[in-house]
Amino acid sequence: MKFLILSFLFFIFSVPSFGFVVLIDPGHGGKELGAVSTIYLKDRNGKKIKKKVYEKDLTLTLAKKIKQKLEKHFSTYLTRSFDRTVSLEKRAELADTVKADLFISIHFNSSSSHKFHGFETYYLDNHDDKAIKKVEAIENIGMEGENKIINHILIDLVIKQTVGRSKKLANSIHDTVGQKMQKRFRLRDRGVKPGLFYVLALSKRPGVLVEAGFMSNPKEIFKIRSKAYLDAYAESIAQGVVKYYGTLPPKEIPLF
Ligand SMILES: [Zn+2]
């Protein structure tokens, strides 16, 4: 019996399902820099050089790595594949164009205090947490024209339809990051949290917004921009999505 269950799980996890579509959203881009961090490196002669690190570049690097890993399992798209400005509405519209089943927005955190560090994973839901409102204010920049206030009835409807699956996806991704990375990179687990992110609401899909570490922390920024960290984060997100997919009831798994 145990063997049968294991074979079944292997079957679920290993068979590619290209009818299932994942849209990965590298946060910011072009004129929208996102968080900016200044670091000091040493050149070959030991001379200090100042370098600016932009969130928009890190999100693109990480998103491309996730795509590479996920496209072995599912149809996978990016909302942008190079450095360009894309409004939150356009990103969300793409979810309709590619008929996305999941929307995953990639970000890195920043705070006025250098002390904060760690990883957190958000799903779309109401809340009244002040600290979370600060993160929302940063990540909700990039709406087109006058449409800054989204219809609250729409948000409530989207929440109602997606919150169960989004929370499950957020937990699956977050737990995998914790298991694979927390010890290795000495990361602080800041938890799975609800947040009102426009890009998630507008996509109308189950989805998450990942904050993959603090660029404002002088130690963490060096981890974040390392290949080992980005590779491990991409692998953890991909595995989290595959695990989530394995829990979907059969009727939600498209056959074609
Ligand atoms: Zn961001």
Let me know if residue 177 belongs to a domain.
yes
Give burial (CB, 10 Å; 0-12/13-18/19+) of 73. Answer: buried
pLDDT confidence bin for 256, thresholds 50/70/90: low
CA 49 to ligand 1 center in whole angstroms: 26
- Mean per-residue pLDDT, 156-168: 96
Q: Any idea what DSSP says for residue 15?
A: S
Q: Residue 13 pLDDT > 70, yes or no? A: no
CA 46 to ligand 1 center in whole angstroms: 33
- What pLDDT sits at residue 4? 54
For residues 94 and 78, give the distance between their C-alpha atoms in angstroms, rounded to a whole number. Answer: 9
Q: Give 167's contacts (C-beta < 8 A, 6+ positions apart).
A: 123, 125, 192
CA 57 to ligand 1 center in whole angstroms: 11
CA 251 to ligand 1 center in whole angstroms: 34
Tell whether the torsion through CA atoms of 137, 51, 236 and 117 is positive or negative.
Answer: negative
Let me know if residue 121 belongs to a domain.
yes
How many structural domains is the chain composed of?
1
The alpha carbon of residue 131 and the mean position of all alpha carbons in its chain are separated, in whole angstroms, by: 19
Let me know if residue 20 belongs to a domain.
no
CATH number of domain containing 129? 3.40.630.40
CA 136 to ligand 1 center in whole angstroms: 9
Q: What tens digit of pLDDT does each residue of 184-237 get?
A: 999 999 999 999 999 999 999 999 999 999 999 999 999 999 999 999 999 999
pLDDT confidence bin for 75, thresholds 50/70/90: very high
For residues 85 and 81, give the distance between their C-alpha atoms in angstroms, rounded to a whole number. Answer: 11
Residue span of the structural domain in which 102 resides: 27-252
pLDDT confidence bin for 6, thresholds 50/70/90: low
Let me know if residue 95 belongs to a domain.
yes
Q: Residue 21 pLDDT > 60, yes or no? A: yes
* Kind plus residue range of the DSSP H or E element containing 50: strand 48-54
Residue 99 has φ and ψ, to the nearest 5°, of 55, 55
Q: Residue 252 pLDDT > 80, yes or no? A: no
Let me know if residue 124 belongs to a domain.
yes
Q: What tens digit of pLDDT does each residue of 126-153 get?
A: 999 999 999 998 998 877 655 656 677 8
- Mean per-residue pLDDT, 150-172: 92
pTM above 0.75, yes or no: yes
For residues 188 and 120, give the distance between their C-alpha atoms in angstroms, rounded to a whole number. Answer: 9
pLDDT confidence bin for 80, thresholds 50/70/90: very high
Let me know if residue 161 belongs to a domain.
yes
Let me know if residue 179 belongs to a domain.
yes
- What pLDDT sits at residue 152? 77
Let me know if residue 6 belongs to a domain.
no
